[in-house]
Amino acid sequence: MLPDNLLVLERGWLSSNNIVFLEGERAALIDSGYVTQASQTLALLEHALAGRRLTRLLNTHSHSDHIGGNAALVEAFGCQVVVPHGIDATIAEWDEEALLLSPLGQSAARFRHDATLAAGDEIELGGLNWRAIAVPGHDMDALAYHNPERRILISGDALWRNGFGVIFSELLGHPEGAGGLKAARETLDVLARLPVEVVIPGHGAPFVDVEDAFERAYRRLAAFEHDVDLLVWHALKVILAFALLERRQLPRADLPVFLARLSFCQSLNARYLNLSNEVLAHRLARDLIRVGTLRDEQGVLVAM
C-alpha cells in the first residue's frame, strides 16, 4: 500500500500524524504535532529514524497541531523547515492572531523557516516526486501532496476518512467574498479528480476506501452549507475538546470563564448564537459528554 520507506506515525487529535520519508542516511518529515507533545514527537521520530538524520521538515498548514514541534525538531536535528508559500509572512512575523493561537487559546513555539512551497511546485521525498496542491477550506493556505506514480495523497486536514478539519475560514471571513465552505467544496472537487488509491490524512490511519471518504466529506459539507449554525456548533465543540485534550481536565464550574477568554469562541457566540457563557458552557459540556469526548468526574471535566 505504502512504500517501505514511507512511515506514518499515527498520533491522535492533539498532535497531527507525522509522515516520515527515509532517504538513505537522511530523512524528511511532514508535520510535527503539538508543542506540549514535542518530547514525545522527538522520541517517536528518533525511533523511526534509527540513526538517520532529519534534514527537511515540511508543513501542510499552519495550525498548532501541525507546527507545534517544529522548533524542537530544528533544535534537535538542525533540519530545514519548508512551509506553504501563503503563510510565509505570517510565520516570519509570528502573527498569533493569524495563526489562530491566541483566538483559540492554543500554543506553538516560534520557529524560523528556510523555504516555501507553492501550489504546483514539485518536491522529491523518499525517492518519489510529489506535487503540492492548494487545498483551501480548513486553512486557506494549506497544501496537500500527491504522488501520481504510487497514487498516494497526503491530504493534511483537507480530507479525512470521516470528513475534514473545521472550516475555520468560513467563520473568520475571507477577502473578496471567497468563504471557506465554497473553497472546501472546490478543494474536494480537485482532490476527487486525482488518481488516488491511498490517502494519508492529518489525523487517523491511512485509508483506501477513498470514494466512500469523499462521499462522507461531501455529505458533511452539504450539511454545513445548508445550515451554518451546524458548523458554528461543531467548531465550538472541537475547540473545547482540543483545549481539554491539552489540559486533560477542567473544573466544570470554571468552563464559562474559560470560554470567555477565547476570543474566537466569544465572536462566534455573539455573531451566531447569542447565548450567555453559562448556557454555552452547559450545552457544550452536555454534548461532548453525550458523545464520549469528555466525562464528568465529580464536577471535573476530563478528556477521554
pLDDT digits 0-9 by tens, 234-281 = 999 999 999 999 989 999 999 999 999 999 999 999 999 999 999 999
pLDDT confidence of residue 179: 84
pLDDT band, very low/low/confident/very high, at 172 (cuts 50, 70, 90): confident
Band (pLDDT 50/70/90 cuts) for residue 304 is: confident
Amino acid making up residue 217:
A
With 50 as the cut, is the pLDDT of residue 135 above it?
A: yes
Largest distance between two CA atoms of the chain: 57
pLDDT at residue 174 greater than cutoff 60: no
Going along the chain from its start, the domains and CATH numbers come out as: 6-226 (3.60.15.10), 228-303 (1.10.10)
User: Cα–Cα distance between 294 and 232 in angstroms, integer?
Assistant: 19
How many Cβ atoms from other residues are within 10 Å of residue 198's Cβ? 16
- 99 in helix, strand or coil? coil
- Give me the DSSP letters along 12-72: -SSS--EEEEEETTEEEEE----GGGHHHHHHHHHHHHTT-EEEEEE-S---HHHHTTHHH
User: Among 79-83, 160-164, 263-267, whose mean pLDDT is lowest?
Assistant: 263-267
Q: Write out the E strands in the chain.
A: 6-9, 18-23, 26-30, 53-58, 80-84, 115-117, 122-125, 128-134, 143-147, 152-156, 198-201, 249-251, 294-297, 300-303
pLDDT cut 90: percent of the chain above it: 94
Report the C-alpha gap between 130 and 123 in whole angstroms. 5
Q: What is the pTM of this model?
A: 0.95
Out of 55-59, 168-172, 277-281, 298-302, least confident range: 168-172
Look at residue 211 and tell me whether its pLDDT is greater than 70. Answer: yes
Cα–Cα distance measured from residue 231 to residue 264, given in angstroms and rounded to the nearest whole number: 14
Q: How confident is the model at residue 178 (pLDDT cuts 50, 70, 90)?
A: low
